[in-house]
Amino acid sequence: MEREIVMSTAQIEKAFQAWPQVEPTLRVPHNEREYRQLVKLLDRLVDEVGEDENHPLASLMEVLGVLIEKYEDDNVAELA
Protein backbone atom coordinates (compact mmCIF):
# COMPACT_ATOMS: atom_id res chain seq x y z
CA MET A 1 0.00 0.00 0.00
CA GLU A 2 1.43 3.35 -1.05
CA ARG A 3 1.31 6.22 1.35
CA GLU A 4 0.81 9.75 0.19
CA ILE A 5 3.62 12.15 1.00
CA VAL A 6 2.33 15.56 1.97
CA MET A 7 4.54 18.31 3.31
CA SER A 8 3.10 21.00 5.53
CA THR A 9 3.92 24.64 4.92
CA ALA A 10 6.22 24.54 7.96
CA GLN A 11 8.05 21.48 6.59
CA ILE A 12 8.49 23.15 3.21
CA GLU A 13 9.86 26.27 4.91
CA LYS A 14 12.37 24.13 6.83
CA ALA A 15 13.41 22.47 3.56
CA PHE A 16 13.90 25.89 1.93
CA GLN A 17 16.12 26.95 4.83
CA ALA A 18 18.19 23.76 4.78
CA TRP A 19 18.52 23.36 1.00
CA PRO A 20 21.44 25.80 0.44
CA GLN A 21 23.57 23.64 2.74
CA VAL A 22 22.40 20.35 1.25
CA GLU A 23 22.26 21.21 -2.47
CA PRO A 24 26.02 21.25 -3.16
CA THR A 25 26.15 17.62 -2.05
CA LEU A 26 22.77 16.26 -3.11
CA ARG A 27 22.39 17.07 -6.78
CA VAL A 28 22.07 15.35 -10.11
CA PRO A 29 25.63 14.92 -11.41
CA HIS A 30 26.24 16.57 -14.78
CA ASN A 31 29.94 15.83 -15.14
CA GLU A 32 32.64 13.43 -14.01
CA ARG A 33 33.70 15.61 -11.05
CA GLU A 34 30.17 15.80 -9.62
CA TYR A 35 29.74 12.06 -10.20
CA ARG A 36 32.97 11.28 -8.32
CA GLN A 37 31.86 13.50 -5.43
CA LEU A 38 28.59 11.56 -5.13
CA VAL A 39 30.43 8.23 -5.24
CA LYS A 40 32.80 9.42 -2.51
CA LEU A 41 29.88 10.55 -0.34
CA LEU A 42 28.06 7.25 -0.90
CA ASP A 43 31.19 5.34 0.14
CA ARG A 44 31.32 7.34 3.38
CA LEU A 45 27.64 6.65 4.02
CA VAL A 46 28.09 2.93 3.39
CA ASP A 47 30.85 2.94 6.02
CA GLU A 48 28.54 4.73 8.48
CA VAL A 49 25.18 3.08 7.71
CA GLY A 50 26.24 -0.39 6.66
CA GLU A 51 23.24 -2.71 6.29
CA ASP A 52 21.08 -0.86 8.86
CA GLU A 53 17.90 -0.07 6.91
CA ASN A 54 16.57 1.83 9.93
CA HIS A 55 19.54 4.20 10.11
CA PRO A 56 18.49 7.87 9.71
CA LEU A 57 20.76 8.21 6.65
CA ALA A 58 19.69 4.99 4.91
CA SER A 59 17.25 6.80 2.61
CA LEU A 60 19.94 9.34 1.67
CA MET A 61 22.15 6.43 0.71
CA GLU A 62 19.37 5.07 -1.48
CA VAL A 63 18.83 8.44 -3.19
CA LEU A 64 22.55 8.82 -3.90
CA GLY A 65 22.61 5.30 -5.34
CA VAL A 66 19.80 6.19 -7.75
CA LEU A 67 21.56 9.40 -8.85
CA ILE A 68 24.83 7.53 -9.39
CA GLU A 69 23.14 4.71 -11.29
CA LYS A 70 21.38 7.19 -13.59
CA TYR A 71 24.65 8.97 -14.36
CA GLU A 72 26.37 5.67 -15.07
CA ASP A 73 23.53 4.50 -17.32
CA ASP A 74 23.77 7.71 -19.33
CA ASN A 75 27.54 8.24 -19.38
CA VAL A 76 29.54 5.09 -18.74
CA ALA A 77 30.08 2.72 -21.64
CA GLU A 78 29.25 -0.89 -20.85
CA LEU A 79 32.03 -3.42 -21.00
CA ALA A 80 31.37 -5.88 -23.79
Task: In whole angstroms, give the CA distance from residue 32 to residue 59.
Answer: 24
- Say what the pLDDT of residue 20 is: 92
SS3 (DSSP) at 55: coil
Per-residue confidence in pLDDT tens, the chain, 80 aa? 666 778 889 889 998 999 999 888 888 999 999 999 999 999 999 999 999 999 999 999 999 999 999 999 999 876 55
Global pTM reads 0.77
At a CB cut-off of 8 Å and minimum separation 6, what does 67 contact?
27, 28, 29, 38
